[in-house]
Amino acid sequence: MRLTQYTDYSLRVLIYLGLRPDRRCTIREISEAYRISRNHLMKVVQQLVAEGYVESTRGVGGGLMLAHAPNRLGVGDVVRAMEPDMGLVECMRPKNDCVITEACRLQGMLAEARDAFLSVLDRYTLADILDPRMTKRLSDALGIRVVDPPEVANG
């Protein structure tokens, strides 16, 4: 199974925003952190907003934030929403022109494999990707300076 670059970028945007819950982020800073096209990212973000994964505010002080807590953003749900076509081969697509479809068992096998793939992704959320043990490494890789939360005084 191979995900499109579009879905890859979608997951990357959510990861970035999950690392910055303290403020709004811009498409420019996300594209620079990942070294990817701002134009591609704008299209991805538009769909993430339309799907309800990201909130967007225009104007001064505007930007992007997660619309939900990371533990409420399922990886499988995001992949399903962002992948344009989960038909792995011709016979699994709406305009099936494969001449052996009626006699071939491949469609059933690949559908089972696709469903298993998505079933595994359904067990995870963005919070799992943002595991606290990996947050610093993710932040460092993206050039994000993470401020440690203030320690709570005992008493």
Q: Are 12 and 33 in contact (CB under 8 A)?
A: no
- Global pTM reads 0.86
Q: What percent of the chain has pLDDT over 90?
A: 58
Q: Are 137 and 26 in contact (CB under 8 A)?
A: no
Q: Are 7 and 82 in contact (CB under 8 A)?
A: yes
Q: What is the pLDDT of residue 148?
A: 52
Q: How crowded is residue 137: how many other Cβ atoms within 10 Å of its Cβ?
A: 10
Q: Give which of 59, 63, 79, 73 is closest to 9, Cα–Cα.
A: 79
Q: Domains of the chain: which residue ranges? A: 5-142
pLDDT digits (tens, 9 = 90+) for 11-70: 999 999 999 998 999 999 999 999 999 999 999 999 999 999 999 999 888 899 999 999
3-state secondary structure of 109: helix
Q: Are 143 and 16 in contact (CB under 8 A)?
A: no
Q: Look up residue 111 and give its amino acid.
A: A
Answer CATH for 5-142 from 3.40.50.300, 3.100.10.10, 1.10.10.10, 1.10.1060.10: 1.10.10.10
Q: What percent of the chain has pLDDT over 70?
A: 94
Can you tell me the distance from the alpha carbon of 46 to that of 122, in angstroms, rounded to the nearest whole number? 23
Q: What is the pLDDT of residue 146?
A: 63
Q: Are 118 and 77 in contact (CB under 8 A)?
A: no
30 versus 140: which is more confidently predicted?
Answer: 30
Contacts of 132 (CB under 8 A, 6+ apart): none
Can you tell me the distance from the alpha carbon of 122 to that of 66, in angstroms, rounded to the nearest whole number? 19
Contacts of 57 (CB under 8 A, 6+ apart): 24, 63, 64, 65
